[in-house]
């Protein structure tokens, strides 16, 4: 029967394929990114992420606190450290970027992943200061960097200027325990000082740097474990008030992990799940409408079946079977579609520099297949049950007397078909409103002034520490490189800083004392600051409100100085000009020499906060270069690499990009949500338009005699166009009203993706109405024109 109606079958299968494929894809993303994000890792359902807190903000945990937590916890086991970092990996005469992790010796045993070659770390390798220069590398590193060398164990590679011995190779498919990035290698905790900036931290209780995981013991809930670690943190606060006052420890489920991309992607994937469910419902409603229309054309067939003795249950079985076959075929196509699209979410991920492998794997396992099977069964019921029930209501006597139909093919069927169109229009309207809200929010975020120049300024980085440079050597190299780059044609100025705005690197922070300001005990919170080079404010485009910026004379032999922001001035100097006054940072008094306008440091939507700058020549040297120029990134990149290699051929500069691109990367979550919602919303809109067109085309085809009679009685072609259009647009209007009511309630789910945009924004609702109106007119116009072209003589004769 389906083969005899090939056009109908193909259209129905296409609609269901889109719905099932989109839904399965999103389920596989949720499974592979949020619920079980680490391939080959065992027992992920009991893993929790572990971080520190300071009052209401999140930070890291110190090594002594981590060891105390591990020793005193009774509800958690298998505590592991997993601290991501980047390095310059030198192989022969080639230097390149690589991503690695500092881990505890029990890391691989706790997650249940064994090496394919060699061994992993031993407990003794957690102890000592840079005492164990050994490394475990990934399968991808072994294959791409070492050409699958079977004798790799025991060989060495130069990282951070230290020769590390390769002791193991992990199996193919294992990427580490950080969502989004594929690690190249792992080193033991004892090598922290070599690979993590800021000095030796294994004996410093005040040095927070650890991110990690723990595993719940069987039968223990997350709430119970959180209560225990909070109690341990409180005991540590009482025992070590100098370092632990106001500090706590928090556990997170994997899908909410704050230090990798799981927590970042959760709002986007949550919205995507709701959206694809809408798409699936629209697809099912569409196919249901097609089946209803087809059931009318098969009314004579059903009547004959009943007259020849077929029971109504037999008709129900027949139509449900046809719907089930459609769904099975569409499910197979949908699985293929979802498999092909399983890694498309990587396209929404911000592009990173070379040496960093983006890994966001979708996971199509038995759980996803089980959910998809359930979706298929639900789809079968949705698309097959209504036509089957309609067929079961056929009155044999009436059906045998007349095969004609009225303008809408019977009141009952018209009500059902119209109701399905209302559902499609309503759901499509909701998706359009959501897309409009996200677009308006994203546009508003992009219009925010970051407080520095985004055009005409390029940035790039060099990891000096990874190449084994000490502070003296870094400063010498920076000065020489800055002079060389500034001498290039088209370059106006050059400077550098330790932290690049809108990057993942943490700013330095410490409590400060301001001369003449008495801070309440609870107000003495750490203030973030950046270490910047001479000419930084001019190069980056941050206006100075008073005083001066740093020069080459602000070095280690001169008076320690600082530049503060206007927000800090308002809080600590009550709006008075602080130039010439002092603040105390880590037992050292700094003289304020300038006031800079506040800018954004991590994201465009952050609230203004106190911030200040210190000269890199008096503190930590920089590794991020800022170049004011009109040259393109590609042109400058080649010139910059040439100048770097002229000074040291072993250094590997990172990508050169505009500050505008750097800022845009901070909005990638919102942009990813807009892309996904736009794709799925467009899909839903097309399906709704097909559904509306199908209903109107069917209505016209079934009403040929009535329309012909109207024309015979004097109705003109425009009258018939108005009649058909009014019916179609009436359905649209009803769907828009229903969709508006749904949108008013559902848009609150998008609150964490919206910035200064009301979930009930009238512009978004108005735009969605306009789009639906245009699509509805287009869907109804062709059937209306067809109605106007009916020949009344032929219609009445037929």
Given pLDDT bands bounded at 50, 70 and 90, which one contains residue 410? very low
Contact of 207 with 163, CB cutoff 8 Å: no
Partners of residue 626 on adjacent β-strands: 459, 495
The answer on pLDDT for 743 being more than 80 is yes
Residue 7 lies in a domain: yes
Secondary structure letter of residue 35 according to DSSP: I
Contact of 763 with 440, CB cutoff 8 Å: yes
Same domain, yes or no: 19 and 168: no
What does the pLDDT read at residue 676?
Answer: 78
Output the CA torsion sign for 752, 756, 760, 764. Answer: negative
Given pLDDT bands bounded at 50, 70 and 90, which one contains residue 407? very low
Q: What is the mean pLDDT of residues 302-324?
A: 75
The answer on pLDDT for 566 being more than 50 is yes
Question: Of 648 and 371, which is predicted with more confidence?
Answer: 648
Instruction: Quickly list H helices, 666-761.
Output: 668-702, 704-712, 717-746
Residue 120 lies in a domain: yes
Question: Of 737 and 337, which is predicted with more confidence?
Answer: 737
pLDDT in tens, 435-456: 888 888 888 887 888 999 888 9
Question: Of 602 and 106, which is predicted with more confidence?
Answer: 106
Q: Report residue 131 as tokens.
A: 């005492």
Residue 468 lies in a domain: yes
The answer on pLDDT for 302 being more than 80 is no
Given pLDDT bands bounded at 50, 70 and 90, which one contains residue 404? very low
- Alpha-carbon distance values, 112 to 43, 171, 389 (Å): 8, 12, 54
pLDDT in tens, 145-161: 889 999 999 998 887 77
Given pLDDT bands bounded at 50, 70 and 90, which one contains residue 361? low
What does the pLDDT read at residue 135?
Answer: 95
Same domain, yes or no: 241 and 130: yes
Q: What is the mean pLDDT of residues 546-552?
A: 93
Q: Which residues contact 436 (CB under 8 A, 6 or more apart)?
A: 761, 763, 764, 765, 767, 768
Residue whose C-alpha is closest to residue 15's, from 237, 412, 323: 323
Backbone φ/ψ region at 606: left (φ over 0), alpha (ψ -120 to 50), beta: beta
Same domain, yes or no: 643 and 703: no
Same domain, yes or no: 620 and 690: no
Q: Report residue 677 as tokens.
A: 């919602």
What does the pLDDT read at residue 665?
Answer: 76
Rounded distance between C-alpha atoms, residue 246 and residue 231, angstroms: 13
Q: What is the mean pLDDT of the chain?
A: 83
Rounded distance between C-alpha atoms, residue 302 and residue 391, angstroms: 7
Same domain, yes or no: 19 and 154: no
What does the pLDDT read at residue 612?
Answer: 96
Given pLDDT bands bounded at 50, 70 and 90, which one contains residue 597? very high
Given pLDDT bands bounded at 50, 70 and 90, which one contains residue 354? very low
Instruction: Quickly list H helices, 455-527.
Output: 471-486
Given pLDDT bands bounded at 50, 70 and 90, which one contains residue 394? low
Partners of residue 539 on adjacent β-strands: none
What predicted TM-score, i.e. pTM, was given to this entire model?
0.73
* Residue that terminates a domain, selected from 624, 651, 678: 651
Of the candidate ranges 274-288, 313-327, 563-577, 734-748, the one whose mean pLDDT is the lowest: 313-327
Same domain, yes or no: 677 and 781: yes
Count Cβ atoms below 10 Å from residue 231 Cβ, excluding itself: 13
Rounded distance between C-alpha atoms, residue 649 and residue 639, angstroms: 14
Q: Report residue 738 as tokens.
A: 């229903």
Q: Which residues contact 214 (CB under 8 A, 6 or more apart)?
A: 47, 48, 50, 73, 76, 77, 78, 79, 80, 225, 251
pLDDT in tens, 476-533: 898 899 999 999 999 999 999 988 898 867 788 888 888 888 766 555 677 889 999 9
**How many domains is the chain partitioned into structurally?**
4
The answer on pLDDT for 748 being more than 70 is yes
Same domain, yes or no: 12 and 33: yes
DSSP character string of 95-136 = EEEEEEEEE-TTHHHHHT---SEE----GGGGSSSS---EEE
pLDDT in tens, 342-353: 777 766 555 554
The answer on pLDDT for 537 being more than 90 is yes
What does the pLDDT read at residue 69?
Answer: 94
Residue 418 lies in a domain: no
Same domain, yes or no: 572 and 504: yes
Please tell me the total number of residues recorded for the chain in this structure.
798
Residue 320 lies in a domain: yes
Place of tokens 């979706």: 375
What does the pLDDT read at residue 688?
Answer: 80
Same domain, yes or no: 443 and 496: no
Same domain, yes or no: 11 and 136: no
Question: Of 540 and 505, which is predicted with more confidence?
Answer: 540
Q: Which residues contact 58 (CB under 8 A, 6 or more apart)?
A: 51, 52, 250, 258
Structural domain range at position 788: 431-447+664-798
> What does residue 154 show for φ and ψ, rounded to 5 degrees?
100, -15
pLDDT in tens, 88-120: 666 555 556 678 899 999 999 999 999 999 999
Rounded distance between C-alpha atoms, residue 604 and residue 607, angstroms: 9
pLDDT in tens, 153-209: 999 888 777 889 999 999 998 989 988 778 889 999 999 888 876 678 898 888 888
Residue 282 lies in a domain: yes
Contact of 519 with 470, CB cutoff 8 Å: no
Same domain, yes or no: 87 and 229: yes
Residue 693 lies in a domain: yes
**Strand ranges (DSSP E) for 184-259?**
185-188, 212-216, 247-253
Q: What is the mean pLDDT of residues 67-87?
A: 89
pLDDT in tens, 210-255: 889 999 999 999 999 999 999 999 999 999 988 888 889 999 999 8
Contact of 184 with 98, CB cutoff 8 Å: yes
Of the candidate ranges 221-235, 387-401, 609-623, the one whose mean pLDDT is the lowest: 387-401
The 3-state DSSP class for residue 705 equals helix
pLDDT in tens, 662-707: 888 777 777 777 777 788 888 888 888 887 777 777 767 767 777 7
Residue 1 lies in a domain: yes
Provide, rounded to the nearest whole percent, the portion of the chain with pLDDT above 70: 87
Same domain, yes or no: 647 and 716: no
Q: What is the mean pLDDT of residues 43-54?
A: 92
């Amino acid at each position: 029967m389906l083969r005899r109606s090939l056009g109908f079958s193909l259209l129905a299968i296409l609609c269901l394929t889109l719905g099932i494929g989109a839904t399965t894809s999103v389920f596989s993303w949720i499974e592979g990114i949020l619920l079980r994000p680490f391939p080959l890792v065992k027992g992920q359902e009991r893993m929790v992420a572990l971080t520190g807190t300071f009052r209401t903000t999140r930070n890291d945990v110190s090594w002594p606190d981590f060891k105390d937590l591990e020793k005193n916890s009774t509800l958690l086991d298998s505590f592991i450290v997993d601290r991501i970092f980047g390095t310059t990996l030198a192989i022969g005469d080639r230097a390149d970027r690589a991503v690695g992790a500092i881990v505890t010796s029990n890391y691989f045993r706790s997650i249940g992943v064994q090496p394919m070659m060699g061994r992993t770390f031993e407990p003794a390798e957690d102890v000592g200061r840079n005492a164990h220069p050994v490394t475990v590398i990934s399968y991808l590193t072994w294959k791409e960097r070492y050409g699958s060398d079977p004798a790799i164990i025991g060989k060495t590679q130069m990282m951070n200027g230290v020769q590390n011995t390769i002791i193991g190779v992990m199996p193919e498919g294992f990427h580490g325990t950080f969502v989004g990035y594929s690690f190249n290698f792992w080193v033991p905790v004892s090598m922290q000082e070599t690979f993590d900036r800021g000095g030796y931290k294994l004996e410093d209780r005040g040095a927070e740097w650890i991110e990690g995981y723990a595993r719940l013991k069987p039968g223990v809930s997350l709430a119970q474990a959180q209560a225990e670690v909070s109690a341990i943190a409180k005991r540590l606060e009482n025992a070590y008030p100098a370092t632990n006052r106001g500090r706590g420890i928090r556990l997170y489920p994997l899908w909410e992990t704050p230090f990798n991309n799981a927590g970042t992607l959760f709002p986007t994937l949550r919205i995507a799940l709701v959206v694809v469910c809408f798409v699936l419902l629209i697809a099912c409603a569409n196919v249901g409408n097609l089946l209803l229309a087809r059931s009318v054309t098969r009314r004579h067939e059903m009547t004959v079946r009943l007259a020849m003795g077929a029971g109504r249950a037999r008709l129900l079985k027949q139509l449900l079977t046809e719907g089930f076959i459609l769904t099975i075929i569409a499910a197979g196509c949908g699985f293929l579609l979802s498999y092909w699209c399983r890694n498309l979410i990587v396209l929404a991920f911000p592009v990173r520099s070379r040496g960093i492998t983006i890994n966001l794997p979708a996971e199509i396992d038995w759980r996803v297949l089980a959910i998809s099977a359930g979706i298929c069964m639900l789809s079968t019921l949705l698309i097959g049950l209504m036509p089957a029930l309609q067929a079961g209501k056929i009155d044999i006597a009436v059906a045998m007397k007349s095969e004609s139909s009225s303008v809408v093919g019977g009141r009952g069927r018209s009500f059902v078909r119209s109701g399905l169109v209302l559902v499609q229009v309503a759901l499509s309207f909701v998706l359009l409103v959501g897309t409009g809200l996200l677009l308006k929010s994203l546009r508003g975020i992009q219009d925010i002034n970051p407080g520095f120049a985004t055009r005409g300024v390029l940035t790039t980085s060099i990891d000096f520490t990874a190449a084994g440079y000490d502070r003296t050597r870094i400063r010498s190299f920076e000065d020489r490189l800055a002079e060389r780059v500034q001498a290039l044609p088209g370059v106006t100025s050059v400077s550098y800083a330790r932290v690049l705005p809108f990057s993942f690197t943490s700013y330095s922070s410490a409590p400060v004392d301001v001369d003449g300001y008495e801070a309440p005990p609870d107000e003495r919170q750490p203030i973030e600051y950046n270490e910047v080079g001479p000419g930084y404010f001019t190069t980056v485009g941050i206006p100075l409100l008073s005083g001066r910026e740093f020069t080459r004379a602000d070095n280690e032999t001169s008076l320690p100085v600082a530049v503060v922001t206007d927000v800090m001035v308002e809080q600590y100097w009550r709006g008075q000009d602080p130039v010439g006054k002092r603040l105390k940072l880590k037992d050292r008094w700094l003289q304020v020499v300038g006031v800079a306008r506040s800018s954004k440091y991590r994201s465009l939507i952050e609230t203004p906060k106190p911030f200040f700058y210190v000269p890199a020549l008096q503190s930590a040297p920089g590794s991020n270069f800022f170049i004011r120029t009109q040259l393109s990134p590609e042109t400058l990149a080649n010139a910059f690499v040439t100048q770097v290699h002229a000074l040291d051929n072993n250094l590997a500069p990172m990508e050169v990009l505009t500050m505008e691109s750097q800022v845009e990367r901070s909005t990638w979550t919102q942009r990813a949500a807009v892309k996904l919602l736009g794709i799925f919303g467009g899909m839903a809109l097309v399906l709704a338009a097909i559904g509306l067109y199908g209903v109107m085309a069917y209505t016209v085809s079934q009403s040929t005699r009535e329309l012909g009679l109207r024309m015979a009685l004097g109705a003109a072609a425009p009258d018939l166009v108005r009649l058909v259009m009014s019916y179609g647009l009436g359905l649209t209007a009803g769907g828009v009203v229903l969709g508006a009511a749904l949108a008013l309630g559902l848009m609150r789910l998008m609150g964490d993706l919206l910035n200064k945009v009301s979930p009930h924004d009238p512009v978004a609702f108005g735009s969605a109405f306009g789009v639906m109106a245009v699509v509805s007119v287009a869907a109804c116009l062709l059937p209306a024109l067809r109605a106007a072209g009916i020949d009344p003589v032929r219609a009445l004769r037929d």
